[in-house]
Amino acid sequence: MPSSAPRQSTPTLWARKNKTSQPGCGGRGKHLTKSEPDANMHRFYHMQIVPGLFGDWGLVRNWGRIGSSGQLRTDWFDTEAEAKDARHELHMEKAKRGYE
């Protein structure tokens, strides 16, 4: 499998129940927020790197309105370095859009 294209999966019941994408789970997470009260916009974006069962690494992303459970997506990578690079790229992209 080419390492440049991440594999995608849908969130599992276990991941939703155990909130693997929430802050404080594993120490590899980045939590960003964007609030514009005049536009009634209060968003969050959380990214976390998690190990897989077969030596792969997942980048778990959770986003939505603050106070909601939001959307959940996991992209799988062959190495932890690839997952970290993808997380960094997403972090920079979100920073350009006003997330802090």
Q: pLDDT value at position 51?
A: 97
pTM across the whole model? 0.71
DSSP state of 67: T
Q: pLDDT value at position 3?
A: 52
**Domain ranges, ordered by start, for the chain:** 30-96
Q: pLDDT value at position 14?
A: 39
Write out the H or E segment, with its range, that includes residue 68: none
For the chain, 100 residues long, the average pLDDT of each consecutive 10-residue run is 54 44 55 96 97 97 97 98 97 96
Q: pLDDT value at position 81?
A: 97
Cβ–Cβ under 8 Å, residues 23 and 46:
yes
Q: pLDDT value at position 46?
A: 97
**What sign has the CA pseudo-torsion 11, 14, 17, 21?**
negative
Q: Which fold has domain 30-96?
A: q64v53_bacfr protein fold (2.20.140)
Q: pLDDT value at position 21?
A: 41
